[in-house]
Amino acid sequence: TAVKVKKICCIGAGYVGGPTCAVIALKCPHIQVTIVDLNQTRVDAWNSLDYKLPIYEPGLEDVVRQARGRNLFFSTDVDKGILEADLIFVSVNTPTKKTGVGAGFAADLNYVELATRRIAAVATSSKIVVEKSTVPCRTAESMRTILEANSKPNARFDILSNPEFLAEGTAIDDLFRPDRVLIGSLQTPEGVDACASLAEVYANWVPRERILTVGLWSSELSKLAANAMLAQRISSINALSAICEATGANIDEVAHAIGYDSRVGPKFLKASVGFGGSCFQKDILNLVYLSESLHLSEIAAYWRQVVEMNEYQKRRFAKKVVDTLFNTITNKRITVLGFAFKADTGDTRESASISLVRDFLSEKAFVNIYDPKVEEAQIWQDLSEAVPGTPLEIIKKSVTICNDALSACTNAEAIVVATEWKEFRDIDWQVVYDSMNKPAFVFDGRMLLDAQKLKEIGFNVTVVGRGGRP
Ligand code: UDX
Ligand code: UDX
Ligand code: ADP
284 and 198 co-located in one domain: no
Tens-digit pLDDT profile for residues 356-379: 999 999 999 999 999 999 999 999
Which of 9, 279, 402, 409 is labelled catalytic?
A: 279
Atom of ligand 3 nearest to the CA of 115: 23
Q: Whose CA is nearest to atom 26 of ligand 3?
A: 37
CB 136 within 8 A of CB 289: yes
pLDDT tens digits along 36-71: 999 999 999 999 999 999 999 999 999 999 999 999
Q: Does a structural domain hold residue 268?
A: no
- Same structural domain, 34 and 176: yes
19, 156: one domain: yes
Q: Whose CA is nearest to atom 22 of ligand 3?
A: 115
Of 185, 206, 227, which residue constitutes the final position of a domain?
Answer: 206
Mark whether 11 and 115 lie in a shared domain: yes
Helix residue ranges per DSSP H, 53-138: 60-67, 78-84, 110-122
341 Cβ below 6 A of ligand 1: yes
Q: Are residues 187 and 336 in the same domain?
A: no
Q: Does any ligand 1 atom lie closer than 6 A to the CB of residue 302?
A: no
Q: Which residues contact 7 (CB under 8 A, 6 or more apart)?
A: 31, 32, 33, 34, 84, 85, 86, 87
CA 245 to centroid of ligand 1, rounded, Å: 23
Return the CATH number at 342: 3.40.50.720
What number is the ipTM of this complex?
0.94
Q: State the total domains in the chain.
A: 2
Domain around 313: 280-463
Look at residues 161, 180, 206 and tell me which one is the last residue of a structural domain: 206
Closest CA to 194 of 181, 209, 213: 213
pLDDT at 468: 67
264 alpha carbon to ligand 2 midpoint, in Å? 12
Q: Is 279 known to be catalytic?
A: yes
Q: List, as one string, the DSSP characters of 398-421.
A: HEEE-SSHHHHHTT-SEEEE-S--
Residues 17 and 166 in one domain: yes
φ, ψ of residue 304 in degrees (nearest 5):
-60, -35
385: helix, strand or coil: helix
63: in domain: yes
- Look at residues 206, 222, 239 and tell me which one is the last residue of a structural domain: 206
Tell me, yes or no, whether 248 lies in a domain: no
- At 463 the three-state DSSP class reads strand
pLDDT by position in tens, the chain (length 470):
899 999 999 999 999 999 999 999 999 999 999 999 999 999 999 999 999 999 999 999 999 999 999 999 999 999 999 999 999 999 999 988 889 998 888 888 999 999 999 999 999 999 999 999 888 888 888 999 999 998 888 889 999 999 999 999 999 999 999 999 999 999 999 999 999 999 999 999 999 999 999 999 999 999 999 999 999 999 999 999 999 999 999 999 999 999 999 999 999 999 999 999 999 999 999 999 999 999 999 999 999 999 999 999 999 999 999 999 999 999 999 999 999 999 999 999 999 999 999 999 999 999 999 999 999 999 999 999 999 899 999 999 999 999 999 999 999 999 999 999 999 999 999 999 999 999 999 999 999 999 999 999 999 999 999 986 54
Instruction: Give the number of whichever ligand sits closest to the CA of residue 121.
Output: 3
Mutate to test the pocket of ligand 3, among 80, 90, 111 (most ligand atoms within 8 A of CB): 111
